[in-house]
Amino acid sequence: MSSLQCDVLVVGSGGAGMSAAVAARRDGATVVVVTKSALGASNTGKAQGGIQAAVGADDSTEAHFEDTLAAGHDDGRPELVRALVEDGPEAIAWLDGLGVEFAREDDAYRVIRCGGARCPRLLQSGERTGAEIVRALRGAVRASGAEIRESSALRDLVRIDGGWEATVAGRDGPATISARCVVLAAGGGLSGEARARGIGSTNHSDATPEVLNLAIALGAETVDLDSWQYHPTGSVWPEALSGYALPETTRAHGATLHDADGERFVDELAPRDVVAGAIVDVVAAGRGVVAPNGQPAVWLDTAAIDRANGAGFTAERLAYVTRRYAKAGIDITQERVLVYPVLHYRNGGLVIDPSGHTTLPGVYAAGEITGGVHGTNRLMGNSLLDTIVFGRRAGRAAAEEARRGKRTADPAGTSQQPAR
């Protein structure tokens, strides 16, 4: 069995894990990243809609703070929400510096409004903002000098003198990694949860909860662990797109929801839980549509987008969605589509403080594995911001704690450097 040593071990390589790795390296820590598949394979890369941050001329971090707390039913921890929104503009600048090309208009970031936001606040990089962020972060991690262990799944984590020892199972056989600090950034695991319950999910197939469960078994405290969010507009038909979530920007651009009689029944830009709940209620009241595959649904009138914005708008702003449906035989600029809520996000998770520290000594966490940031309902676009803000905070804090530990353990500065 091979062995490694490092200052900071990062478990997971979505937006949170890669942000943590880059931040820790920039603070001088030696870093090992372990990920059970490929670097960047994650829910982050599947995020289509965009990332929220208060960068607009008519916006403020205070407005973002109030919107986030309200959407989460005031269940979010104010100090975490404050950290999220106040770091937001600088997080966008950081991503910009890494090469993420956000859409611009008149030399400013282009922002649009999304559900639960009082004003336009959503930035986009094409239609697949998450994939673009992953591309930039993957390059930054590889350039940082961090040790990357792909196809390496965390199997165990044990407290040792001076830190933690992780056991990982990789394609090159088992290995142990001794680290002064650990950052857990392996997601909320809803793909695994959904499979176990026989329900649909938008999550990446690798989004399984074993790292979260391991942290809980070690004694880490959790909050709102069973608070899950459903994406309101999961595709029901055609079956080739079953479970695919039409991005919220579809509704932001003007698509409307209708029952079987063609009546609108909800503000399409209300918070996600409100929209999803309204769809479920309409179907339960017998006002839904039965799809050709027998599944319950309501209509999403995507053709309303071009009616509101002019011909060609949908093809330009929603090119990816348009192409996906066209391949399945549906022209969303001319036809309505059938949708129903689908499991999307775990709102709760491990308890953290604003630095990302969990209740376990030397263990930090960031991203969907954590709780308290979003309360019991998340605003669209806040998940990507969460991964960047708290990934960086956790990476920096872990690097600083590791540095303090090295000074205490080896004041002469002769400690052994991690294997490379």
Question: 3-class DSSP state for residue 349?
Answer: strand
How large is the greatest C-alpha to C-alpha distance in the chain, in angstroms? Answer: 77
Q: Strand 163-170 and strand 104-105: pairing?
A: unpaired
How many whole angstroms separate alpha carbon 398 and alpha carbon 376? 27
How many whole angstroms separate alpha carbon 46 and alpha carbon 341? 17
What's the Cα-to-Cα distance from 186 to each of 154, 189, 376, rounded to whole Å?
10, 8, 20
What's the Cα-to-Cα distance from 350 to each of 12, 44, 69, 104, 143, rounded to whole Å?
15, 19, 18, 36, 30
Q: Which two tokens stand for residue 63?
A: 């407005």
Out of 25, 251, 272, 317, pick the active-site residue. Answer: 272
What's the Cα-to-Cα distance from 176 to each of 31, 157, 160, rounded to whole Å?
14, 10, 12
How many whole angstroms separate alpha carbon 187 and alpha carbon 164? 20
> Between vectors from CA 34 to CA 92 and to CA 368, what angle results, nearest 5°?
50
How many whole angstroms separate alpha carbon 107 and alpha carbon 102? 11
272 counts as catalytic = yes
- Bridge partners, residue 105, by sequence: 108
Catalytic machinery residues: 272
